[in-house]
Structure formats: structure tokens, C-alpha cells
Structure 1
Amino acid sequence: MDHDMGGGGGGGGGGMGMSMAPPPSTTTMTMKPRHFMHMTFFWGTKSEILFDQWPGESRGMYALALLFVFVVAFLVEWLSHTRFIKPGSNKMIAGLVQTVLHLLRVGLAYLVMLALMSFNGGVFLIAALGHALGFFFFASRAFAKPHNDNAYDDLPPMSC
């Protein structure tokens, strides 16, 4: 008996070995490569962040993806702690500006969250760093500008 499982090397005909070759067919199917999504944190540059096949296997594109996530997280903090509306401005316009700012902040925060769903450890660290540095520059006492009035920033703090 040939127990070689189709790997060759066995002797000739009449054996009961199994062939691993696909059966002959008149139709051909094209197989798309399957993408594997990690369900736990992993460390590596070969991942998909936000878009199909991006950044792929290029270390330069991975660095660009990390920079993008950092900037978006930093912008979330900037939008959360910056005053765009002057006190005493038209309430209707101020309300529209607040709504647009809220839309931008939530949209960017969701974008960071989606990037984190790649489960890439580098993306996690860079997103946390972006939020931390954004908070340091725009909300901590290190760079606090004294307000003439006791008004809050344009947008209330985000809460889950």
C-alpha cells in the first residue's frame, strides 16, 4: 500500500494512496486571497487599518498609517478643548457651529475607534499617545490660557 498521500516517492501503480491534486474540471474558479483579521492584540507591520489592503506589507505605509491615527486622535482633543465661538455671538449661528464641531469630533473619534479595531498594538499605542499629547497641549494646565469669563469650551467633554 502507498501511504504517501500523494507526496511522490512511492512505487508505481495499483496503490491505494490518496492524491492531493484537485480533480480535473472544465470550469475554473478564481480564488481571492482570504484576509485574516486578528481578534487579539498583535505586534507587526503587516496589517489592515481602516481600508482594505492598507497599509499592507510596506513599513513606510505602516508608518504613514500610524501618523494618520496619531493626527486624528490629536484633532479629537483639539476639537474638544478649543473655543471657536466668541461669547455674545448669534445663538443660532453658535448652535450650528457647535453642531458641526460635534459632528467632526464624533466622526474623528469613531475613525480612531475603527483603526483600533485592527487590534494592532502599534495603532493602540499611537492612538493613546495622540489623545494624551492633545490633552496635554489643549486641556492641561501646562499651557492654560486664562479665560476672562468662566465659560466652558464650545463642546462639552465626551462621555461614554
Structure 2
Amino acid sequence: MMPMYFYFSDQVVLLFDFWNVRSPAGMVLSVVVILLLALLYEAIKVAKAKVILRMMPALVPSVSQETLREPEQASVNAGLEQPAGTSKNPFLWHVAQTLLHITHVVLGYLVMLAVMSYNAWVFLGAIVGSTVGYYVAYPFLSIQ
């Protein structure tokens, strides 16, 4: 029976039966993998936001990139022309957004289920990965 409280140990089964950790080196490697999954989760969250920002002018003609950046300085006619890089048919952008979304959901559930092993090392790896991912990825939202 698995404990229902956080514990520090170098023995745990993570996500799948074959991911059976039984040594300190295996725990370090597992924590690094969980850290990277959490980091990737944050990076994909930013990528989804960038796709949405890029797709928004194509979906709502009254919204332009200038409106998204500086709403108080946007002109009345802003957004009437198609922004560079978006197609008249937003289908491809929607497919990209959908693929990013499903990847984001799967990674989120994997990290959550790993944390539900109640191993404190795995939990700390997820927290550090999420923190580093947020710190590294979110400045890319402001880069145009």
C-alpha cells in the first residue's frame, strides 16, 4: 500500500510499472525527467498563448496586433488588413492550437500523476521544473 503523505525515499513506482525506481541514481534521473516535463509544460503554455495572439486578428477583424499591445493607442481602422503570417483561413492555426493543447493536457496529467506518488523528491522536481519553465518561457510572450 502506497502512503498518502509526502515521504523522502529513493524507491518509487512512477506512472508506469516499468518506471520502478530502486536506487538514488534512478531517483535523480527520474526527478530530472519530471523536472523537464514540468519545464516543457510551461513552454507549451507560452506557445499556446503565442498561437492564440497570432490567430486572434484573423478570427476577429477588429483586433489587430497593435490593439493587443497597446489598446488605448489603437486607431479605429486598426485590424482591417490581414496580419503577416496568418492565413485567411485560420484552420491551420486552429490545428496547431489543438495539437499544442492536447500536448499541454497530456504533460500536465503526467506531471500531476507523478506528484501523486507522494514522493517528496518528485514533488520538488515538478515545482523546480515549473518555476524554471515559467522564468525562462514567459519573457517570450512579449517578444514579437
TM-score normalised by L of structure 2: 0.68
What is the CA-CA distance between 1:146 and the residue it aligns to? Answer: 3.3
Match of 2:5 in 1: 40
Task: Tell me the alpha carbon deviations over residues 103-136 of structure 1, each in whole angstroms, 9 at most, x when there is no partner.
Answer: 0001000000000110000111110110110000
Q: Which stretch has the larger CA shift, 53-62 or 74-83?
A: 53-62
The ranges of structure 1 where at least 4 consecutive aligned residues each deviate by more than 3 angstroms after the TM superposition are 83-87, 143-146
Ranges in structure 1 where 5+ consecutive residues have no aligned partner:
1-35, 148-160
More helix by share: 2
Larger CA Rg, structure 1 vs 2: 1
Q: Which whole-Å CA distance do the structure 2 matches of 1:137 and 1:73 have between them?
A: 12
| Cα deviation code 1:57-114 (max 9, x no counterpart) | 1222211111110111000000011235864234001101100100000100000000
Give distance in 2, aligned partners of 1:74 and 1:84: 19
- One-letter amino acid of the structure 2 residue matched with residue 146 of structure 1: I
**Equivalent position of 1:112 in the other structure:** 111
**Preserved contact between residue 51 and residue 93 of structure 2 (Cα < 8 Å):** no
Shift of 1:145: 4.6
Structure 2 unaligned blocks of 5 or more? 55-84
d(CA) in 2 for partners of 1:109 and 1:43? 23
RMSD: 2.0
Corresponding position: 1:138 with 2:137: yes
Q: Is the 8 A contact 1:41 1:119 kept in 2?
A: yes
**C-alpha distance in 1, partners of 2:9/2:23?**
11
> Higher RCO, 1 or 2 (CA under 8 Å, sep at least 6)?
2
